[in-house]
Amino acid sequence: MSHFEFASVDVDLADCRESLQDSRCGGYAAFEGWVRDLNEGQRVLRLEYEAYEALGVKEGERIVAEAIERYGVVAARCVHRLGELQLGDLAVWVGVSSPHRDEAFAACRYIIDEVKHRVPIWKKEHYVDGDSGWVNCERCAEHAD
């Protein structure tokens, strides 16, 4: 089972959860990232995710392996959607199972935080007013002011 994958279709959450079940585990923590209707004050209509998949999978695998090592959890996985998504759609899922809850929460948090910073994924938002933009790329200059 791969620890990190990209999906171009809806993620089967029941399947994801089941893949982490283990009789050694008394806890399972999961994080779901959803498409939100507002970003930086602009009304979002839909968005697109694009990834450099060859490097993205490698880096994602490294992040999940780090979380397992660092927090001693039994199993962890992350799935990130690519392509066009609508409001409310699941964009990313992280799941962790471990004997106790503290490690599961911590590892889950570590994975989503690191994925956001390190995995080469880009998000293009399409706004209600007809504008669109690549998040963190096209308004950097404005942010710097």
Residue numbers at the binding site for another protein (CB under 8 A): 33, 49-52, 54-55, 58-59, 80, 91-92, 112, 115-124, 134-138, 140-141, 144
**Torsion 89-84-67-75 (CA) sign:** positive
Specify the DSSP element, H or E, that contains 57: helix 53-71
Let me know: does 82 contact 6? Beta carbons within 8 Å: yes
Closer CB to another protein, residue 73 or residue 91? 91
Closer CB to another protein, residue 14 or residue 141? 141
Closer CB to another protein, residue 25 or residue 89? 89
Categorise residue 135: left if φ over 0, alpha if ψ from -120 to 50, beta otherwise: beta
**At its nearest, how many Å lie between another protein and the CB of residue 101?**
22
**At its nearest, how many Å lie between another protein and the CB of residue 99?**
27
Closer CB to another protein, residue 10 or residue 18? 10
Residue 112 corresponds to which amino acid?
Answer: I
